[in-house]
Amino acid sequence: MPALPCPPAFLEVRSTDIKLPPHLRSLCAGFDLGKWRRDELITHLLNWLPSFCLTEKEYADRIAIEPATIMGQAAQRLYTTEKYQRRGEIGELLLHIACRQTFKTVPVICKLVYKSSYNDTVKGFDMVHMVPAANDLGAEIWLGESKFYLDPQAAIKEAFNSVIEHLDPKFLKQEKSLIAGKIPDDLPNREAVARAFSDRERLDTLISHGIFPILIAYDSNSVRNYSSEKTYLENLASELAPLKKFAEEAKLPHPITIQILAIPLGDKADFQERFDARLKGFFT
């Protein structure tokens, strides 16, 4: 998976608050003649599906000669249920894209690959990536959470609850055990990543070298009421300020490095319905 090419960048960083941690960035699909680019964002997500949902072997050898088959397999691995409104995979896909685009992360594993059936929900961190680093381990381990909600403030609270649950020692040991045997042989800095997830290594190594991105994709009044770039950016900054404040004041069991990524949507329900329709168009 690490060698797979990425689609060209699409999301634009529009609002940042990175003077003090936790850092917050907003990524937006942008507007064409005042209209939020819903369909263009959906197309971008679908372009990412094969490299997000499939292994390198499943994808790389066949994409040029069987593109329709590959897209169908990727689409079905994401989900096939009619109850798509309760699924969180779109948030996980957005988290994957945002971190790869913004921070140049490299996937360690994609848990969708290990579903036992198409509509399984896979517990644990929503993203396991890495970035080569000049630290004593030789890598940063990126362990992400995503929330795809109507209300951004409810989303950030639930995301932090998930992080707290996932910092539990018993959970972290289980997560390490799950990941340790599935690290690709050709992963950059593989030895460093394997050490971080080894059952012989202390949990402190994973925590101290970990980056915890939290992605919030949400129904945005700023997008819905767009009138001009200047007004939009002002409204967006105000809309995101409570998320930053909550993150600054949140109590966590261990000090960790958090990166908040917010993706405002013009209409979450409409976006989800349209994405689902286009996704299922690839089913065979």
d(CA 265, CA 138): 37
Give the tokens for residue 186.
């050709």
Whether the predicted pLDDT of 110 surpasses 60:
yes
Q: What is the pTM of this model?
A: 0.92
| pLDDT for residue 116 | 43
| pLDDT for residue 68 | 85
| pLDDT for residue 120 | 52
Selection from 3-12, 45-54, 63-72, 105-114 with the highest mean pLDDT: 45-54
Least confident of 35-49, 75-89, 129-143, 169-183: 75-89
Q: What are residue 129's phi and psi, to 5 degrees?
A: -125, 180
What is the rounded average pLDDT for all residues in the chain? 90
Residue 41: name the closest of 280, 277, 274, 283 by CA.
Answer: 274
Residue 42: name the closest of 280, 272, 282 by CA.
Answer: 272
Residue 163: name the closest of 141, 134, 143 by CA.
Answer: 143
Q: Taking the mean position of all CA atoms in its chain, how far away is CA 152?
A: 16
Helix axes 38-53, 89-103, angle to 10 degrees: 90
Task: Indicate the domain borders of the chain.
Answer: 23-280
Residue 213: pLDDT band (50, 70, 90) is very high
Whether the predicted pLDDT of 275 surpasses 80:
yes
Q: Running DSSP on this structure, what letter comes out for residue 91? A: H
Residue 2: pLDDT band (50, 70, 90) is very low
